[in-house]
């Protein structure tokens, strides 16, 4: 199905009015927020409503199950206060459909920014779960065709795999898997249609090639070198670190994942510390699933604070204002300002002084002026 790319329509009650006092008092709900802090609704610029947390694996045989499961899963991002999420590749492009369901008010879920399927060089066979989430494209012409197809199907941006994937056992994160002309073609095709490219990059060379080709958002940037950090800063490419996805929880393959992801996490936190100290404008992503351990325990917030030494206020800005600016939606969300969407969360504590109150669910989540979660 082809969906229109359009912003969620606004009614006047969806917005922050800027009025104080109690005019039309009968329409107003007054909340006692003593000791609590009101923040803009949070934004996660890197997640997937399928593939993570088994969503997708359970739905291989039914499109209807896939749609309802994906919609339900998307709604859970509200639990932790995320009122906007960017889906970086979904099974059968189902995120495009869920986005439409949110836009027409069919379900309470975050606003979605979607890319449909991601574009990846042939890295597996057709039966691999990833094959349902990607286009395999192996020349610049194939990349151009795939990008056009995704945009025609309703993509807001184009997602490419410039390096191998860590979460696929056959993927080699240290390898830069797309050729520069393929990345450039993705960028030019996207730009012609008013879109931009987000590139999955672990390998340093993949980051470098992507920045030089004009990619707007560098996802993960895990194995970035000091030289490439300088280049990113010079060219004003946006880095979207996703540290939480490298957290290894207890499980049957803990040792395997620790040996695979541990060194990547150490390298990445060292470089993101440096990027932060350089004053780079960092985004906020998780690559984690709503409801999983990392999401429910605010691991992305923790790692940025504890491993990268970022100040609490800066982390809050990363997952609100910075992400809105990066995604080009700061005229609608990301701040508390008159005329912006009334997407708000209420947290217990002072998160700008102690970020730990972001490690669990907020007290209240408001989307377009309506309370959608109350804990
Ligand atoms: Zn991802």
Give domain limits for the chain. Answer: 40-374
Q: 122-136, 228-242, 263-277, 325-339: which range is least confident on average? A: 122-136
**pLDDT per residue over 112-159, tens digit each?**
999 999 999 998 877 777 788 899 999 999 999 999 999 999 999 999
- Which letter does DSSP use for residue 253 in this model? T
The better pLDDT of the pair 369, 249 is held by 369
Backbone phi, psi, residue 233, to 5°: -65, -45
Between the CA of 88 and the centroid of ligand 1 the distance, in Å, is: 6
Residue 290's pLDDT is what?
92
Task: State in Å: Cα 181 to ligand 1 middle.
Answer: 23
The answer to whether residues 271 and 229 touch, using CB atoms and an 8 Å cutoff, is yes
Measured CA to CA, the distance from residue 179 to residue 3 in angstroms comes to 31
Q: Which residue has the tokens 């000091």?
A: 226
* pLDDT digit string, tens, across residues 178-221: 999 999 999 999 999 999 999 999 999 999 999 999 999 999 99
pLDDT band at 19; cut points 50, 70, 90: confident
Domain 40-374: CATH class, spelled out: alpha beta
> How many angstroms does the Cα of residue 54 sit away from the middle of ligand 1?
14
Q: In sequence order, what are the beta bridge partners of 302?
A: none
From the CA of 63, how far away is ligand 1's center (Å)? 22
CA of 50 to the centre of ligand 1 (A): 10
Q: How far is CA 307 from CA 147, 301, 302, in A?
A: 37, 10, 8
């Amino acid at each position: 199905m082809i969906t229109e790319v359009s912003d969620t329509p606004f009614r006047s009650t969806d917005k922050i009015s800027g009025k104080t006092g109690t005019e039309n008092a009968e329409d107003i709900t007054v909340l006692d927020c003593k000791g609590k802090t009101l923040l803009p609704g949070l934004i996660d610029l890197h997640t997937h409503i399928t593939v993570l947390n088994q969503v997708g694996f359970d739905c291989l045989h039914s499109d209807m199950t896939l749609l309802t499961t994906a919609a339900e899963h998307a709604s859970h991002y509200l639990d932790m206060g995320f009122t906007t999420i960017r889906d970086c590749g979904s099974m059968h492009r189902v995120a495009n459909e869920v986005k439409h369901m949110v836009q027409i008010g069919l379900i309470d879920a975050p606003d979605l920014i979607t890319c449909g399927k991601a574009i990846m060089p042939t890295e597996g066979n057709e039966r691999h779960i990833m094959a349902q989430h990607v286009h395999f494209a192996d020349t610049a012409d194939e990349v151009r065709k795939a990008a056009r197809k995704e945009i025609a199907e309703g993509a807001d941006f184009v997602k490419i795999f410039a390096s191998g994937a860590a979460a696929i056992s056959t993927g080699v994160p240290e390898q830069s898997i797309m050729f520069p002309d393929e990345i450039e073609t993705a960028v030019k095709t996207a730009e012609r249609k008013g879109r931009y490219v987000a590139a999955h990059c672990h390998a340093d060379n993949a980051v470098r090639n992507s920045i030089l080709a004009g990619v707007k958002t560098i996802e993960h940037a895990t194995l970035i070198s000091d030289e490439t950090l300088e280049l990113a800063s010079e060219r004003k490419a946006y880095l979207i670190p996703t540290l939480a996805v490298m957290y290894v929880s207890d499980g049957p393959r803990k040792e395997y994942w620790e040996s695979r992801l541990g060194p990547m996490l150490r390298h990445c936190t060292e470089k993101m510390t440096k990027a932060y100290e350089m004053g780079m404008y960092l985004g906020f992503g998780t690559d984690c699933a709503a409801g999983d351990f990392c999401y429910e325990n605010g691991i992305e917030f923790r790692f940025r604070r504890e491993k990268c030494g970022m100040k609490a206020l800066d982390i809050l800005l990363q997952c609100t204002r910075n992400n809105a600016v990066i995604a080009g939606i700061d005229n609608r969300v990301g701040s508390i300002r008159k005329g912006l969407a009334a997407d708000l969360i209420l947290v217990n504590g002072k998160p700008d002084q102690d970020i730990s109150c972001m490690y669990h669910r907020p007290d209240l989540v408001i989307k377009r002026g309506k309370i959608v979660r109350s804990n």
